Amino acid sequence: MPADTAGLENLFFQSSSKYSVLEEIGRGGMGIVFRAQKNTGGVIDNVVLKSLRTIRPDEEEKLRQEASIATMLRNENIVKTYGLESVPFGKLPADFLSMLELQPEEKAAKKVKGDQKYLLFLVMDYIKGTDFYNLLTQHLKKDLLFPAPLAAFVIGRIASALSYAHTYIIHRDISPENVLISDQGVCKLTDFGIAVVSHQQPEDWAGKLMYMAPEQLRNNPIDERADIFALGLVAFQAVTGIPLLFAPFSLPFEDQVRMIYAQMEGNLLPPHMVRSDVPIELSRIIAKMLSFAPEYRYQRAATVVTELEKEYLYARGYGPTYNSLAAYIDIFKSDFQEYNEDQLQQLSFLKDANGQISLRRPLTIEGYTKAGQRLLAERKGTLVVERLRDLYKKKQAAPAHPKVQKMPVVKAQYLGNVVENFPLRDNTITIGRATDNIVVLPHKIVSGHHAKFYLKDGAPIVEDIGSQNGIFLNNAKVSKAYLQEGDKVQIGKTLFYFLWEKEPTNAEQMALFNDEFMPQIMHATDISVQFYPAEAVFVQLMGAIEQILLEAKVGELKRSLIPMAFYEVIQILGSKNTSSAMQLRIMRASRHMSFYCKAAQQSSGYDSFFYAMFQRMTKELAEEDQFDAEEMAISLILKAFDRIEMSRSRKEIGLFISYV
């Protein structure tokens, strides 16, 4: 035994953590869930605390069993459980205690020796994001359905979690509510409250009626195939919007059971026979998961994962990832108004039959087959039926809402994280090495006048204008082609993207930046100010950015670099003295923060910034290491910000910071 570890194998010690409850985040019939901060030796972490509402010995034993089962599961697609903590009743607020359902012996214990009776808390990892049920519901409320490829990806990740978990347990409570999706797009299975150890039959009848397998509903022996059936029900609902099994909660429980079982014994339609836009490859997989007899289902969850990935998700190459799921959710949260070329590239698998990326999947009655419409008629009381009825009434009563005006934009990507935007209206955007082009590229393989983007009858076109090395549209060489949103054009070593973007609105008269704006800047999600180029103002703004970053979820290195990098940006933009004001807009989104710095119209600040960026790009291509002060500033800016958007027509620089 090595001397430096001798004896430690037999060392036992106790550790203590302090918890601060921040907010309630959910409650059900059995328990309440809170978000809390855990302090262990000065290290702070966000966790979830799950407590019981009914305090009985048998319920406490179930919570202990859940903790024992869940803590042994270690998988990226399963919410990590840390164990149990306990709090003396005497330390609990009176209002909280009054909400608990206590048995007579517990009430007596609380009154006589409250500090000796304890409330148990199950401690779990905090997943910042949403649950699958809420995500599907929010789509229906916006008259949309969740995209089928992304639904299949979520199902595949949860099937992967089950493949691992079934080595130990049967979950028995698979439902959309128990599938969490983090802000990074990672899918995680949670709530093992009624799970049972594999190969041991449960003594109790438990689960959600709408997501039970036939054998589970009949209280017959079950195995992992019951979880596969339940996951198939989740998949069916995700791709069609319709719960395959449904009984109104207003009915007596026995009647609900009879109705659900009658639906099971009926002809369970495969999804493509309900919604015409569900791919048949995906539909067949879901249908097999939903076989009434367990022996005809997939026998293992691992096979579901393999079939989904091989036959559907990645059958044609690139498919959904955690990043693409996160990108879609971000776009959805912005009501499909804010997205960039990187996000569209991540979602290129959503292209329709015409090759166009289709982000929205509209909820319409026409999207359902005749059989699907009959199924809808049988599911009165569900959200999807209510939304379709509302849509029909709105269609009859009022004209359609006007569409948001969008403009065609060509984006040139420089230096990895730098993009310059060029509105494509009546003007032609020329690209080449000659200095009379709109976009000048320093690459030797680029011809003097290489290519151009323009509109013809409102349709965007890219055309080679006699170059030596040609242009490539989505990796295929073309001489002239119409563009669709998300298309990628390579000219030399530079990538160009085509997007339709929301027309920018001219800001109203903005107030002048001063000390009074500090509280607003610290807490507003969208605020604009104007300021005059002056060293004292630049320093003051840098201080404001430092204050903002104290509460932002960014890494320590970024937090130290960003204020100085921001200072360098406004220094360059305001480098020429002018009597006109510059503008700053600060926006906070769910996963990033952005600063839009606009040079005064009469100044040459934007040109100075672009020239410094151009020099940096040219020297990088030449692999030279010596930079002047301005180019060193550009290097700092490139390192500090995750994305930099330049708009020549607006003389504006957008600086983006992604949250960790």
First-last CA distance in the chain: 41
pLDDT exceeds 80 at position 523: no
Nearest residue to 92 (alpha-carbon basis) of 122, 62, 75, 115: 115
Distance CA(240)–CA(332), nearest Å, equals 18
pLDDT, position 394 = 80
Mean confidence (pLDDT) of the chain: 87
Whole-Å CA distances, 392 to 4, 363, 395, 402, 649: 75, 11, 5, 18, 43
Distance CA(653)–CA(341), nearest Å, equals 17
Backbone angles phi, psi at 343, to 5 degrees: -65, -40
pLDDT, position 108 = 47
Query: In this structure, what DSSP letter does residue 313 have?
Result: I
Region 208-222: mean pLDDT is 90
Selected residue with higher pLDDT from 611 and 385: 385
pLDDT digits (tens, 9 = 90+) for 235-282: 999 999 999 999 998 889 889 989 998 998 887 899 999 999 999 999
Region 382-410: mean pLDDT is 81
Model confidence at 113, pLDDT cuts 50, 70, 90, reads: very low
Model confidence at 4, pLDDT cuts 50, 70, 90, reads: low
pLDDT digits (tens, 9 = 90+) for 353-386: 888 899 999 999 999 999 999 999 999 999 999 9
Q: Which residue has the tokens 């090595």?
A: 2
pLDDT exceeds 50 at position 184: yes
Region for 205 from its dihedrals, namely left if φ exceeds 0, alpha if ψ lies in -120 to 50, beta otherwise? beta
| Total residue length of the chain | 660
Give yes or no for a contact between 657 and 562, defined as CB atoms under 8 angstroms apart: yes
Model confidence at 198, pLDDT cuts 50, 70, 90, reads: low
Region 437-461: mean pLDDT is 93
Q: What is the largest CA-CA distance in the chain?
A: 93
pLDDT digits (tens, 9 = 90+) for 117-175: 788 888 999 999 999 999 999 999 999 999 999 999 999 999 999 999 999 889 989 99
Instruction: Note the pTM of the prediction, 2 decimals.
Output: 0.88
pLDDT exceeds 50 at position 583: yes
Region 84-88: mean pLDDT is 86
Model confidence at 445, pLDDT cuts 50, 70, 90, reads: very high
pLDDT exceeds 60 at position 400: no
Nearest residue to 328 (alpha-carbon basis) of 148, 190, 176, 76: 148
pLDDT, position 533 = 87
